[in-house]
Amino acid sequence: MSKTINIARYNPQTDSRPQLQAFQVESDNSTSVLDALLQVQQQDPSLGFRWSCRMAICGSCGVMVNGIPKLGCKTFLRDYPDELTVSALAHFNVEKDLIVDMQPFLTHLAAVKPYLINDDQSSQPHRQTPAQLAKYQQFANCINCGLCYSACPQFGLNPEFLGPAAITLAQRYNLDSRDAGKTARMPELNSKNGVWGCTFVGFCSEVCPKKVDPAAAVNQGKVASAGDFIISMFKP
Amino acid sequence: MNLKKPGSSKPEPGSYQPVMPRNWWLQHRYFQIYMLREATVLPLLFFIGCLLYGLYCLSLGETQWQHWLAFMAQPWVVLLNLLAFSASLFHAKTFFELFPRVMPLAPPGLMIAGQWLATLLVATGLVLLLGGWL
Amino acid sequence: MQQLQQDIIVVGGGGAGLRAAIAAAETSPTLQVALLSKVYPMRSHTVAAEGGAAAVTLEQDSLAAHFQDTVSGSDWLAEQDVVEYFVKHAYQELVQLERWGCPWSRKADGSIQVRRFGGMKTERTWFAADKTGFHILHTLFQTSLKYPTITRFDEYFVIDLLVVEQQIAGVLAICFSTGELVQILGKAVILATGGAGRVFHYNTNGGIVTGDGMALAYRHGVALRDMEFVQYHPTGLPGSGILITEACRGEGGILLNKDGYRYLQDYGLGPETPAGQPKNKYMELGPRDKLSQAFWQQQQRGLTADYHGHAVVYLDLRHLGEAHLASRLPFICELAKSYVNIDPATAPIPIRPAVHYTMGGILTDINCQTSISGLFAVGECASVGLHGANRLGSNSLSELLVFGKVAGEQAAARVQKMSLAPVSAVAAQCQHQQTYISSLFADSCDDTVHAIRTELTLAMEQGCGIYRDNAGLQTCLSTLQALKIRYQQLKVTDNSKAYNSALLQHLELGFGLDVADTICRSALARTESRGAHQRLDEGMTQRNDSDFLKHSLAICQPDGTAAISWQSVTITSLPPAERHYGAKGSGSAGSSV
């Protein structure tokens, strides 16, 4: 059957703001929003959007579907009425059509030192029990799609806020039994754009396509940050 | 690692910078419920005001205390306090559900049940204590 | 045109590119390393690898056993010195990744857990649930952030290599966000651009896997080796081709035809092993080429089922139980539910073979060096000689790491004694490319990238599929020639600057057409059957060592088509023998320990 997909188009050379444009696409039980966009691109090759793996693991194809952040490849037209609206991810600068500037997101990721920090020079693997692995495993499943940033009003209001994915990544390494870098990461988390920027709206976890639960990570970060503060009070 | 991208530090010329509308929290149901949760503070403020006023009246003596009791019995005050009570229950519900995610100590269902049980016990204890049965 | 200077330029931000960049940065902290990628590095297709990475780990295992599995798996077309180096270094590379934070799955005592994989005689595949590639890629990407000398050029698309007198001088790239051409001079270039699975219609690959790097090198006269060997993964989802990992079978999943019969026992892989008790190199744990060929045979006999117009067989995981599936194969459960609406705990998954991997690629020596001095290649885009005629699952993730490191170190060693080529030496080449790009734009064009690409991929599927014959290959070749002519007339009708994906797709299609030509011509020239290359023509259905124990080399002719020549295979310790799996395999030289 045929459905209408309204796409927020934006060409930086000619437009001052995004404008909706309607397209007709053929849809069956398995047609994803990404499939629909690929169909539209056949009608209009100038349509810009990112995609690659089409199996919800590369994190490229995040868009707003009827105002909710979604992965295009994991959202199906069968779940929508005859008409739906697709626009660029919220809270990021729009570069062209559905393509946003992901740079702030990457800068925030890099800011939390997302790698193992330790002095250990051994050439043997660490021991890490399944229980120790389970402590951070869920937070290591983030695919960097950025949907949580589009769901976070605090990031929308303050782009300097580290945001859900970056704090989750910090937490992922802080909870790793092989890591000794928590003290290096805490200043960033304790700062005014760190964990305390979060008001626990919780929508980030709602939209996360990989069930990473960034809201939990951020609020675990608050507990860690508070602990850090209390310890610092008792230090000379 | 460095990053080479023309104009990466500031928005590229021609990129569209979206602005958050003032009514962003009305945009969908999830944000509305979030704002409702935040708004539970308002009836709770009223309840705390009542309590503080009661303490103040108690310090002024018997007449004032009777006056406060009469005030508290007025239908609109009872209504507002009922509202505060349900708001606190709603807030507790959301908080109890979030807590196991932040402190995953036991299975979430068990932790939620445990918190309600603890609330019930503490509340019953307080009623018994203040009522003079203990 | 913007001009930049770097020491080492890595093209491609997947597993191999990131590993090479880190190795280069660690070798010498004074070198400027540029990492160019047409997508953000964590979008690279390494991310989709599911099953695991192989290295000799258990006490009862040996380097000789991994060597033998790989060589016999390759149908004796692997370079045996390369395989020796690989099996020796794989373990340390996986440990290195562990030390960088990769969340490998563990045993109860905290040591590394290994799982079974097809064609391997014992458990030696390290895994991180069923998202091994994802975790490897993100670990490498996050670790790369530690090195201040690595400069990332995200969303830069390389359109040409700059070569001066058979020495690499740099690359010419389009900055996707601005549409501007950027000339980057460097003393060494490492190509790590991945495979070319997207030249086939049904494939497990992401949209970015278009063979760019192979064509870049090929157009400068570097040979593409063993291009006829294209791996069909036996278990892709019908239609989309989405990968359902071999680890499903490693964990005990079984393959059934439409009658519920475990048909693999009819194709030299039996006897039947009990469901849920997999045995290495038997039945479902046979190598990928044999399993995909068995599917084709079943389809010919009308024993496959129909799933929305696609011929399928079934992957049954039900007997593994919900809890085991949730802990070992969570991503597979998610994929099956999303894309075919099936819960693997309660119903079998419809699957069919789909193109997965290009065994062939840019010819390199054991040091990843190509025939252009200073140009290195690594990973799926390269043919270092590890996979021969058929790759064993879980060897390629280890390959990225082992040879990524080699390429990075070799490049770093080279640049310390080199200087940059003068800008004037590449000016003409850059000017030529700029003129070419400008000439691509027009207001209208009757033909489209989509139309040509669809015909290309269908022609490849028809002519260069699991089984090939002379007539089919000839038809495919003439289609390719016709498409090339159409491509020359094709124009880009979107003339915007920023994020012009129409232009990128146009250029990718050009690369794909060149790669497809080398695949088809190499397949025509190899008139025998070996590994993933199976001919149906009379007299060609068997392996023919006296004539074809050789690598094919596709070299670009002035008219843009490939000429095929041959290169001998390095054999160090394992002479060619018959390749057996199942009960037959337990006694033969090819697969005995």
* pLDDT tens digits, one per residue of B81-111: 999 999 999 999 999 998 898 888 889 999 9
pLDDT per position as a tens digit, C163-196:
999 999 999 999 999 999 999 999 999 999 999 9
Residue C42 marked ligand-binding? yes
Q: Nearest by CB to C148, which of B1, B4, B12?
A: B1
- What is the amino acid identity at position A15? D
Residue B9: predicted pLDDT: 40
Residue C356 marked ligand-binding? yes
Interface of A with C in 150-179 (CB under 8 A): 169, 173, 176, 178-179
Residue C131 marked ligand-binding? no
C-alpha distance from A185 to closest chain C C-alpha (Å): 14
Asked whether the beta carbons of residue C142 and residue A60 sit closer than 8 angstroms, the reply is no
B13 touches chain C (CB under 8 A): no
Which residues of chain C are within 8 Å of residue B2 when distances are taken between CB atoms? 148, 150-152
Asked whether the beta carbons of residue A220 and residue B3 sit closer than 8 angstroms, the reply is no
ipTM entry: 0.97
Please report, for chain C, how many H helices and E strands are present, in that order.
16, 24
Residue C41: predicted pLDDT: 98
Identify the chains in contact with B, defined as 3+ C-beta pairs within 8 A: A, C
Q: Nearest by CB to B14, which of A12, A157, A222?
A: A12
Same domain, A22 and A122: no
Residues of chain A under the 70 pLDDT cut: none
Asked whether the beta carbons of residue C177 and residue B5 sit closer than 8 angstroms, the reply is yes
CATH number of B40-99: 1.20.1300.10
**Is there a contact between C38 and C45 (Cβ–Cβ < 8 Å)?**
no
Same domain, A118 and A16: no
Q: Which residues of C485-523 are buried (b: 16+ CB within 10 A; e: fewer)?
A: eebeebbbbbbbbbbbbbbbbbbbbbbbbbbbbbbbbbb
Residue C543 marked ligand-binding? no
Same domain, A9 and A125: no
Which residues are CB-contacts of B119 (< 8 A; sequence separation ≥ 6)? B92
Asked whether the beta carbons of residue B6 and residue C148 sit closer than 8 angstroms, the reply is no
Q: Which residues of C446-466 are buried (b: 16+ CB within 10 A; e: fewer)?
A: eebbbebbebbbebbbebbbb
Residue C383 marked ligand-binding? no
Share of chain C above pLDDT 70, in %: 99
Structure tokens at C454: 């669809």
Residue B4: predicted pLDDT: 57
Q: Where are the alpha helices (DSSP H) in chain A?
A: 33-43, 103-111, 130-137, 147-151, 153-157, 164-174, 182-190, 203-207, 214-234
Residue C54: predicted pLDDT: 98
Residue B2: predicted pLDDT: 66
Q: Which residues of A123-153 are buried (b: 16+ CB within 10 A; e: fewer)?
A: eebbebeeebbebbbbbbbbbbbbbbbbbbb
Q: Which residues of A touch B (CB under 8 A)?
A: 10, 12-13, 15-18, 67-68, 90-95, 101, 103, 106-107, 110, 153, 156-157, 199-203, 205-206, 213, 215-216, 219-220, 222-223
Same domain, A131 and A220: yes
| Catalytic (active site) residue C486 | no
Domain segments of chain C: what residues?
234-352, 439-568
Domain boundary among A67, A100, A133: A100
The yes-or-no verdict on residue C106 having pLDDT over 70 is yes
Q: Give the domain extent around A26.
A: 2-100
Residue C23: predicted pLDDT: 98
Asked whether the beta carbons of residue C178 and residue B6 sit closer than 8 angstroms, the reply is yes
The yes-or-no verdict on residue C148 having pLDDT over 80 is yes
| For testing contact with chain B, the best of C141, C143, C154, C180 (most B CBs within 10 A) | C154
Q: What gap in Å lies between CA C366 and CA C491, rounded to an integer?
A: 41
Structure tokens at C455: 């015909």
Which residues of chain A are within 8 Å of residue C239 when distances are taken between CB atoms? 30
Asked whether the beta carbons of residue C180 and residue B3 sit closer than 8 angstroms, the reply is no
**Chain A residue with minimal CA distance to B11?**
A93
Domain segments of chain B: what residues?
40-99
Q: What gap in Å lies between CA C478 and CA C262, rounded to an integer?
A: 39
pLDDT per position as a tens digit, C43-99:
999 999 999 999 999 999 999 999 999 999 999 999 999 999 999 999 999 999 999
B2 touches chain C (CB under 8 A): yes
Which residues of chain A are within 8 Å of residue C106 when distances are taken between CB atoms? 128-130, 133
B17 touches chain A (CB under 8 A): yes
Q: What gap in Å lies between CA C136 and CA C128, rounded to an integer?
A: 9
**Domain C234-352 has what CATH class?**
alpha beta
Which residues of chain C are within 8 Å of residue B4 when distances are taken between CB atoms? 4, 34, 151-153
Asked whether the beta carbons of residue A141 and residue C48 sit closer than 8 angstroms, the reply is no
The yes-or-no verdict on residue C588 having pLDDT over 80 is no
Confidence of residue C526 (pLDDT cuts 50, 70, 90): very high
Structure tokens at C43: 């979008």
| Catalytic pick among C152, C288, C352, C530 | C288
Residue B13: predicted pLDDT: 59
What does pLDDT average to over chain C?
A: 96
The yes-or-no verdict on residue C246 having pLDDT over 80 is yes
The yes-or-no verdict on residue B12 having pLDDT over 70 is no
**Is there a contact between C382 and C223 (Cβ–Cβ < 8 Å)?**
no
Same domain, A123 and A214: yes
Domain boundary among A58, A82, A100: A100
pLDDT per position as a tens digit, B112-124:
999 999 999 999 9
Whether domain C439-568 has CATH 1.10.630.10: no
Same domain, A128 and A228: yes
The yes-or-no verdict on residue C205 having pLDDT over 70 is yes
Residue B3: predicted pLDDT: 65
Identify the chains in contact with C, defined as 3+ C-beta pairs within 8 A: A, B
pLDDT per position as a tens digit, C462-480:
999 999 999 999 999 999 9
| For testing contact with chain C, the best of A13, A52, A97 (most C CBs within 10 A) | A52
C505-534 mean pLDDT: 98
Confidence of residue B11 (pLDDT cuts 50, 70, 90): very low
A143 touches chain C (CB under 8 A): yes
pLDDT per position as a tens digit, B24-52:
999 888 999 999 999 999 999 999 999 99
* Edge-to-edge strand list for the sheet holding C114-115: C53-54, C125-126, C114-115
Q: What gap in Å lies between CA C549 and CA C531, rounded to an integer?
A: 12
Residue C560: predicted pLDDT: 92
Asked whether the beta carbons of residue A116 and residue C100 sit closer than 8 angstroms, the reply is yes
B10 touches chain C (CB under 8 A): no
Asked whether the beta carbons of residue B4 and residue C148 sit closer than 8 angstroms, the reply is no
Asked whether the beta carbons of residue C145 and residue A56 sit closer than 8 angstroms, the reply is no
The yes-or-no verdict on residue C592 having pLDDT over 90 is no
The yes-or-no verdict on residue C551 having pLDDT over 80 is yes
Residue B8: predicted pLDDT: 40
The CATH number of residue A78's host domain is 3.10.20.30
Residue C589: predicted pLDDT: 40
Q: Where are the alpha helices (DSSP H) in chain B?
A: 29-39, 41-60, 62-73, 75-102, 108-130
Q: What gap in Å lies between CA B82 and CA B86, rounded to an integer?
A: 6
Torsion sign (Cα): C583, C587, C592, C593: positive
**Chain C residue with minimal CA distance to A101?**
C177
Asked whether the beta carbons of residue B34 and residue A223 sit closer than 8 angstroms, the reply is no
Domain boundary among A73, A100, A127: A100
Q: Name the more confident of A231 and B9.
A: A231
Domain total in chain A: 2
Neighbours of B18 (CB within 10 A): 17
B8 touches chain C (CB under 8 A): no
**Is there a contact between C39 and C17 (Cβ–Cβ < 8 Å)?**
no
Q: How many CA atoms lie within 13 A of B87 on its CB side?
A: 20
C-alpha distance from C113 to closest chain B C-alpha (Å): 26
Confidence of residue B1 (pLDDT cuts 50, 70, 90): low
Residue C56 marked ligand-binding? no
Q: What gap in Å lies between CA B44 and CA A147, rounded to an integer?
A: 34
